[in-house]
Amino acid sequence: MKKVRENGIDGFWGLVIFIGLAVACFIIWLATGLATSWLIATLLYVAMASCFLYTTLIGKQKIWDQQLPQITLSTDTRALDIGCGHGMVLFKIAHRLPAGGHITGIDIWRQQDQTNNSMATVMQKIHTDGLDQVAAVQTADMRELPFADNHFNVVVSSLAIHNVKPKAGRQQSLREIARVLQPGGQLVIADLGFSCNAYRQELVRLGFHDIQVTGTGINGWWGGPWMPTLVLRAIR
Ligand SMILES: C[S@@+](CC[C@H](N)C(=O)[O-])C[C@H]1O[C@@H](n2cnc3c(N)ncnc32)[C@H](O)[C@@H]1O
């Protein structure tokens, strides 16, 4: 429960749907005199809900633990975490930054995208972890970033951009990332598979290079392998 409180649950309603379907199949299984097919359906939805819960609470952290050593951090680092939510990536980077480096997190704190996310909680944790000189957080929409051109040299985003709808909003967000990221700056996005493939095309148009998209395996499955997380790395 502590993990749920500290990190929230991503896409909460997706999880509710899996649990609801498991319960419905279980009731039908009882009502139909224990027909095997309904038991199999129940177990399938329980497995999907468990897989979803694993990814949101543990798998996603492992994905970023694997990515972080590949991000160059220095005393000059000016990093931005887009859609930081509870700050999972923000804190991982802040704790690794050499003195002088800085990371800013932005979010609009939508509960439907991640439960219990709030600026106050992240600010409190920044303070508790002794990171006041290293990390900051503010309310901002990724479609209209309140930063000057070329302000950052690292931009990261974890499972946030796909939440912007419609597609034009996601393209606008990528244009904003391109605007605030210095030439030569590093971009790392973890997001749902179908989204990452669309981002790649848009980033090519925006002049990014060395674009790599990689799978994350079972750590990134949102209910099953048909809804994977991919990681996109690119240089501005
Ligand atoms: C699934 S959560 C992921 C949070 C965090 N990056 C993580 O991995 O734990 C997605 C986050 O994106 C934020 N978000 C959604 N639309 C946004 C927008 N237009 N601008 C900024 N943040 C947004 C939500 O409020 C939510 O906190």
Residues 46 and 83 in one domain: no
Q: Would you say the CB of residue 138 lies under 6 angstroms from ligand 1?
A: no
**Ligand 1 center to residue 141 CA distance, Å?**
9
Residues 76 and 91 in one domain: yes
- pLDDT value, residue 158: 98
Pocket probe for ligand 1: among 108, 122, 144, 222, the residue whose CB has the most ligand atoms within 8 Å is: 108
Domain count, the chain: 2
Residues 98 and 159 in one domain: yes
Detail the DSSP E strand segments found in the chain: 78-82, 102-107, 135-139, 152-158, 181-192, 209-215, 229-235
Q: What is the largest CA-CA distance in the chain?
A: 67
Q: Whose CA is nearest to atom 15 of ligand 1?
A: 163
**Ligand 1 center to residue 72 CA distance, Å?**
24
- For 134-153, write each residue's pLDDT tens digit: 999 999 999 999 999 999 99
- pLDDT value, residue 5: 74
Q: Measure the CA angle with vertex 155, ends 153 and 160; round to 5°.
A: 170
- Give percent above pLDDT 70 in the chain: 100
Q: Would you say the CB of residue 181 lies under 6 angstroms from ligand 1?
A: no
**Ligand 1 center to residue 159 CA distance, Å?**
7
- For 86-133, write each residue's pLDDT tens digit: 999 999 999 999 999 999 999 999 999 999 899 999 999 999 999 999
- Domain span at residue 19? 2-57
Residues 114 and 38 in one domain: no
CATH classification of the domain holding 206: 3.40.50.150
Work out which ligand 1 atom sits closest to the CA atom of 85.
Answer: 27
Mean pLDDT along residues 169-185: 98
- pLDDT value, residue 97: 97
Residues 37 and 129 in one domain: no
Mean pLDDT along residues 180-207: 95
- pLDDT value, residue 6: 79
Residues 68 and 176 in one domain: yes
Residues 91 and 49 in one domain: no
Find residue 156's DSSP bridge partners. Answer: 81, 188
